[in-house]
Amino acid sequence: MAAGVATWLPFARAAAVGWLPLAKKTMPKPPIDNSSKSDEILYVNVSGVRFQTWKNTLDRYPETLLGSSEKEFFYNEDTQEYFFDRDPEMFRHILNFYRTGKLHYPRNECIQAFDEELAFYGIVPEIIGDCCMEEYRDRKKENQERLAEDTEANEGMDAPLPPNSTSRERLWRAFENPHTSTMALVFYYVTGFFIAVSVIANVVETVPCRPHKGSAKELPCGEKYHLAFFCMDTACVLIFTFEYLMRLFAAPSRCKFMRSVMSVIDVVAIMPYYIGLVMPENEDVSGAFVTLRVFRVFRIFKFSRHSQGLRILGYTLKSCASELGFLLFSLTMAIIIFATVMFYAEKGTKGSTFTSIPASFWYTIVTMTTLGYGDMVPNTIAGKIFGSICSLSGVLVIALPVPVIVSNFSRIYHQNQRADKMRAQQKVRMARIRMAKKGTANAFLQYKEDRNIGDPDGDNSALCVKNRSAFEHQHNHLLHCLEKTTNHEFTNEMNYSELCMTESVGYRTSRSTSLSSHQGAQNNSTGCCPRRARRRAAMRLANSTVSVSRGSVQELDTLHLKTTSIPPQTRSSLNAQMCDMKLNCGDQDFTAAIISIPTPPANSPDESLPPSPAPILGILRNTRATAYTQDSVKISSL
């Protein structure tokens, strides 16, 4: 809970006077605050620099070193001060945190030193205020990344594999980090060499070679030395296939591996060869086959495993995709506009090359990108005018977005990172707030438990109770007063959902008196969640037998409220009607156990135990709410 809230607690407690006339019950006694009321000034000596502060200031955060009794370890009797052998500059910020409730990160300090100080004083870094949080996180992340890189570099080189790794794991490691073993390195270079060979072969294949003796036509080398190229291609594809299969075998998660980009590139690189083998020497199909050969150029992308730069470029383009898309879109718009205009401007002229609007696209693109091939030129004056407008605007259209894209890219890149950070921080912050809320909520429930386990007369000598601060005691007392005012208690989510279940079912059973519907419902529910369903069924049975009227739930409530008189009555009433239920619930195999906690008369549980395992109706209580089961009987069906 925030520090300053402690200041307002007395006021909140005073305002509780407003609940008093409404309260149905008496208020509980307030905790006795034995600590001295008057505030005193503490002296804290940090490596010679003396700080002074009120004791209350430090007490605001009882879970830190200075706020708890841990500081007594540093108390110096001779000089009557607390001495810390730490950095006084840092301590200034720490102390300011107590004073203002906000922790600031000093930008000129080393992030690790700051972290260490925070750890020493028991302060969680998440409390850093919003003004400094981003800076803190950036620095911390930077530092961590740098450290991680260093350790990775060291590890990657030298670290031996754990001795129990399987051959599969070793193989995978060899593939991922070629520097680990000589074999891996050799394999790495061999594959690299073959990729290069394959790419060069693809290129050289198409260069025209001198024709055969006695033939005039020039042949591309691929056809002249057909066999040689085929053998080279086969060898490369064999190596690539072997590599791919090895990787597939070694991959820790085969599905994930098959979906990754690199594996897709591998497959695309070797597929054409196999398809070519399989396909017959058909004239029609060979046209398609030629197209497939184009995919062999994808082998060049296999280099990205060998080159870090290529990977970064790929990632960059991917992250900048929306901006590129926007550029493309605006370009397309401009192209269409100008193509249309040029087409209609040049429509009349004889022998015009602007035969259609799509044909004009080519002119527009060539002009806008200032290429100007000259294969299509406008002849009319209007055409020339629009043509010049086109080329001028082309310069603008192309030139303007490019810096915007570059700056956008850098901005978006950083912004995305920041947005993700913000979202993560927001999630963390929300989670922290939720946890703090839950923490305080749970703290109160825990307090109630402890209070009832200990002596209910208020003489809280249990150690766990003592360890709570005065603030917590008073806050818990305040919440307890609210409970008494409204005559309802705080519970947690689990109990609440179970209670809702009983209530809703209770109302339902009160309306429909037929037991067969119970059974039907029970059968349906046991399927999905047997244990829970059986508990629910037990509750339903309990509801139906206790009474058929609307008062069933309230009777249950009174059952839950503990006085020694009530349980025996209800138990006997349950027992009395048990025989009715026996007939209907025969096919459900409930084995029942009766667990009775402290007081109720010991003989009755034995009496109520039936000879055969018949269903015993139960009121099931969650163990968390043990505070109120001291005097009630807990019957559970297993």
Partner 1 sequence: MGAVVGSLTMQTKTRRLSRDKADDDLEITMVCHRPEGLDQLEALTNFSKKELQVLYRGFKNECPSGVVNEETFKQIYAQFFPHGDASTYAHYLFNAFDTAHSGSIKFEDFVTALSILLRGSITEKLQWTFNLYDINRDGYINKEEMTDIVRAIYDMMGKYTYPVLKNDAPKQHVEAFFQKMDKNRDGVVTLDEFIFSCQEDENIMRSLQLFENVI
478 is a contact residue toward partner 1 (CB under 8 A): yes
Considering only residues 499, 548, 594, 614, which one is a binding residue for partner 1 as defined by CB under 8 A?
A: 499
Work out how close the CB of 511 gets to partner 1 at its nearest, in angstroms, rounded to a whole number. Answer: 17
Neighbours of 417 (CB within 10 A): 13
| Residue 355 or 504 with smaller CB distance to partner 1 | 504
Q: What is the DSSP secondary-structure string of 301-327?
A: GGGGGT-HHHHHHHHHHHHTHHHHHHH
Work out how close the CB of 408 gets to partner 1 at its nearest, in angstroms, rounded to a whole number. Answer: 9
286 is a contact residue toward partner 1 (CB under 8 A): no
Cβ atoms of 414 and 443 within 8 Å: the answer is no
Burial class (CB in 10 A: 0-12, 13-18, 19+), 345: buried
Considering only residues 72, 281, 493, 587, which one is a binding residue for partner 1 as defined by CB under 8 A?
A: 493
Give CA–CA dist 453/546, Å, rounded: 30
Beta bridge partners of 54: 41
User: 3-class SS at 349?
Assistant: coil
Give CA–CA dist 59/69, Å, rounded: 10
113 is a contact residue toward partner 1 (CB under 8 A): no
Within positions 199 to 218, which residues make up the interface with partner 1, using CB under 8 A?
A: none
Work out how close the CB of 21 gets to partner 1 at its nearest, in angstroms, rounded to a whole number. Answer: 6
DSSP label at residue 561 = S
| Residue 100 or 355 with smaller CB distance to partner 1 | 100
**Phi, psi values for residue 244, rounded to 5°:** -65, -45
Within positions 500 to 529, which residues make up the interface with partner 1, using CB under 8 A?
A: 500, 503
Stretch of residues binding partner 1 (CB under 8 A), selected from 131-139, 222-230, 366-374, 488-496: 488-496
Sheet holding 41-46, edge to edge: 49-54, 41-46, 81-84, 75-76
412 is a contact residue toward partner 1 (CB under 8 A): no
| Residue 100 or 165 with smaller CB distance to partner 1 | 100
Q: Are strands 49-54 and 75-76 parallel, antiparallel or unpaired?
A: unpaired
Give CA–CA dist 361/66, Å, rounded: 75
| Residue 21 or 160 with smaller CB distance to partner 1 | 21
Residue that the structure tokens 């429909």 belong to: 512
User: 3-class SS at 621?
Assistant: coil
| Residue 476 or 545 with smaller CB distance to partner 1 | 476
Considering only residues 47, 75, 79, 99, which one is a binding residue for partner 1 as defined by CB under 8 A?
A: 99
403 is a contact residue toward partner 1 (CB under 8 A): no
Binding mask of the shown chain, residues 543 to 562, with x at each position contacting partner 1 by CB under 8 A = --------------x--x--
Cβ atoms of 487 and 25 within 8 Å: the answer is yes
The footprint of partner 1 on this chain (CB under 8 A) covers a number of residues equal to 70
Stretch of residues binding partner 1 (CB under 8 A), selected from 44-52, 348-356, 394-402, 521-529: 394-402
Cβ atoms of 440 and 5 within 8 Å: the answer is no
336 is a contact residue toward partner 1 (CB under 8 A): no
Work out how close the CB of 103 gets to partner 1 at its nearest, in angstroms, rounded to a whole number. Answer: 16
Burial class (CB in 10 A: 0-12, 13-18, 19+), 25: exposed
Cβ atoms of 299 and 269 within 8 Å: the answer is yes
482 is a contact residue toward partner 1 (CB under 8 A): yes
Distance of CA 427 to the CA centre of its chain: 9
Binding mask of the shown chain, residues 568 to 607, with x at each position contacting partner 1 by CB under 8 A = ----------------------------------------
Work out how close the CB of 124 gets to partner 1 at its nearest, in angstroms, rounded to a whole number. Answer: 18
5 is a contact residue toward partner 1 (CB under 8 A): yes
| Residue 54 or 344 with smaller CB distance to partner 1 | 54
Considering only residues 34, 36, 38, 166, which one is a binding residue for partner 1 as defined by CB under 8 A?
A: 38
Q: Are strands 208-209 and 81-84 parallel, antiparallel or unpaired?
A: unpaired
Q: Nearest to residue 590, comparing CAs of 552, 549, 635, 629? A: 635
Give CA–CA dist 488/160, Å, rounded: 63
Work out how close the CB of 347 gets to partner 1 at its nearest, in angstroms, rounded to a whole number. Answer: 26
Neighbours of 399 (CB within 10 A): 11
Considering only residues 26, 34, 36, 603, which one is a binding residue for partner 1 as defined by CB under 8 A?
A: 26
2 is a contact residue toward partner 1 (CB under 8 A): yes
407 is a contact residue toward partner 1 (CB under 8 A): no
635 is a contact residue toward partner 1 (CB under 8 A): no
Beta bridge partners of 49: 46
435 is a contact residue toward partner 1 (CB under 8 A): no
Stretch of residues binding partner 1 (CB under 8 A), selected from 103-111, 240-248, 433-441, 528-536: 433-441
Query: Would you give the end-to-end CA distance of the chain in angstroms?
Result: 41
Give CA–CA dist 292/613, Å, rounded: 75
Binding site for partner 1 (CB under 8 A): 1-2, 4-5, 7-27, 29-30, 33, 38-39, 54, 56, 99-100, 326, 330, 334, 393, 396-397, 400-401, 404, 436-438, 440-441, 474-475, 478-479, 482-483, 485-486, 488-493, 495-496, 499-500, 503, 557, 560, 625
